Structure 1
Amino acid sequence: MSRAHAQERPPAPEPLPIPVLDSHTHLDIVVGRRGDVDDGSQEDAVTVDADRVRAEIDAAVAVGVTRLVQVGVDLPSSHWGADLAAASPHVLATVALHPNEAPRTADLDEALREIEALAALPRVRGLGETGLDYFRTGEGGVEAQTASFRAHIAFAKRYGKALVIHDREAHSDVLKVLKEEGAPDTVVLHCFSGDAEFARECAERGFYLSFAGNVTFKSAAHLREAALVAPRDQILVETDAPFLTPMPYRGRPNASYLIPHVVRFLAELRGDSLEDMCTALAANGERVFGQW
């Protein structure tokens, strides 16, 4: 694939028969947030083109993705998402310090206080993405990650909001911390990365499993096995845009308007009708995040 082709937006898919949600997107990055999400520069505000944001939302709505959850990963993106959700009827927000952000935050306690203040806002419906990441952060960052994760769990319970978990190569420790702290009523495993056994464990605890475009990848047999055992009333779909573009457009930019590819793939995989899958996803989304 040429570099120019890799940057081309995939065409819009056929609209879904029943509207669904994108349970996890990063619109600020999709439309060109200044700076790298992992650069640790908490003092810099997120600056994006408002017209491009509206265009992305409109493109999603046009194919039946009428509800988007904008996810925070640091203080600037959490503030930006909360403001966007307050202004757009199609968007709700979650706020958090990403687990890779926590170890490099100069004053973690102060940053967490700021996240807690945002968590109280009515259009902020989740704490996340928080959790543990043992892939990008070494042993030196585990203590800060864990402390941040515990704080987000407490905020989710205090304000009655969903907990949206980033779990990368940390399955057992994520469950351990949730058991020690007491899990909130609503827990979402964002971009579910486990196998069928882990899916059963999470489902038994009442957690929601959110599947992204990587479930369509040829190399992701374990994710498909997990999707097959996940109860339909505990499944969500997401883009994690601009990452994890589903097949057949892997490697090209992802955005919420491509969710129908994942929905159709899961419906066919599980032997569900498309209408039944859409109905379940819409209902699950409202149980997790409330009404838009």
Structure 2
Amino acid sequence: MKDWRYWLAEQRGTLVALAIFALMFTIYISNHPAGLTTNVAQTAANKGTLLALVAMAQTLVVITAGIDLSVGAILVLTNCIASMVVTGNAFETTLGVVFVLFVGALCGALNGLIVIYGRLQPIVATIGTGAIFFGIALILRPLPGGTVNETLADAMTGKVFGIVPASLLMLLAIVLVVWLPFCSSVIGRAAYAAGSSETAAYMSGMPIRRGKFAAYTLGGLLASIGGLFLTFFTYSGQASSATASTYTLLSIAAVVLGGVSLFGGRGSAIGAIFGAFAFRAIGDLMFVFDFDALWQPLFQGVILLLAVSIGALGLWRVRNRLEWFG
């Protein structure tokens, strides 16, 4: 196979997600009363970035052939913690941010340890840990409230040079600093190999445990960045079960829309990012076309079902497992 054809096959999911997002966003902007303005772009970027961060966290686990049902709970927990500690002067705010990121990474590491050494199914393990994380969030923040460093919040959710949404630059930095080094490293390749065939990867001498542990830990870290961004976006913290459940489900939908295989071993966090923005654009279309609020959950559920179905279409033409990962 020629190089460009191989690259196209590898990036097919990402390109499809990009095309869906471009189409949905074009329709949204064409029908928006204000059209494409910097404020409209900023709002869309902020909402899309929040979901993209959680989708990236989900992607890291999914490529190992697992699924993390605690990402929404980690998002909510770190949101509640951030509303308590990311405040004060610059030094205090920095310490608060570091602590929030540490908590997120610790939650992800706990998931990884339970899955790897406890040998529990990821879906079972993360249901349990997610309940624990949400319970802690509820204890810390029984009622909505708190505050955050407004200067930092405005900078992260505002515009750079009055044009470019700062959230997009932050997302780009995370891709360059976290995702690209991970997927190009031995540990990252081991995580992919674990999703393709853990037994074969183990027999090949790949560091499977380290790969899976790194994937879960980085997933928790990314979810905590999402929790921070949610705090910047809302200026407060709230232990909301609806938020936790919604972002967990939407992260799975974004992952599948982005071409990441739920069977593991295939896909990219970049595709998941475009999947997240595509899913947000679909939600914005409901607002533009004035869908009744009572119908919106039904519509989103149909989209979620279709997203999962799209991810399974490729299996119909696969004759053996090696073809799926080839």
Structure with the higher helix share, 1 or 2: 2
TM-score, normalised to structure 2, is 0.25
Higher-Rg structure is 2
Structure with the higher strand share, 1 or 2: 1
TM-score, normalised to structure 1, is 0.28
